[in-house]
Amino acid sequence: MSKPVEKQEWFQVAEAFEASGLTQKEFSAQRGLRLSTLQSWVYRRRRQRPQKAPAVRLLPVAVSAVAPQSPALLEVVLASGAKVRFPASADVDYVARLVTALGR
């Protein structure tokens, strides 16, 4: 791939990365780009977007009949199979932002 040279072209590459569902490493390898360059432009693009609260997606929840542990923990299982545990008192917005970031 010929490497983009203009700011708008790099923003389009960063946008394509965001939509790809790939990791930055995978995307840059597929496109023949330096990882650090892609990271820099993704960062710049994200900073220039208007800051708005990310949409929260609600997913089905399965409640198990296991006796509560002390202290009570909540467990989130990501599509990748990774499990993240939080105290029941954890801030919901923080958990949502973390799960969203891990899902990328």
pLDDT digits (tens, 9 = 90+) for 19-45: 898 999 999 999 999 999 999 999 998
Ranking 7-21, 27-41, 89-103 by mean pLDDT, the lowest is 89-103
Is 70 found in the same domain as 101? yes
Report the b/e string of 4-25 with b at 16+ CB within 10 A.
beeeeebbebbeebeeeebebe
Q: How many domains does the chain have?
A: 2
pLDDT at 67: 62
15 shares its domain with 60 = no
- Do 63 and 102 lie in one domain? The reply is yes
Domain that holds residue 11: 7-48
Does a structural domain hold residue 31? yes
pTM over 0.75: no
How far apart are alpha carbons 31 and 3 in whole angstroms? 9
Residues 69 and 98 in one domain: yes
Residues 67 and 104 in one domain: yes
Cβ pair 80, 95 in contact under 8 A: no
93-96 contacts at long range (C-beta below 8 A, 24 or more positions apart): 96/54, 96/56
Task: Supply 35's token pair.
Answer: 């990882």
100 and 76 in one domain?
yes
Place of tokens 């202290």: 71
Residues 75 and 31 in one domain: no
pLDDT per residue as tens digits for the range 41-75 = 999 988 887 666 677 788 787 777 766 556 778 88
Same structural domain for residues 37 and 80?
no
Instruction: Verify that 66 and 93 share a domain, yes or no.
Output: yes
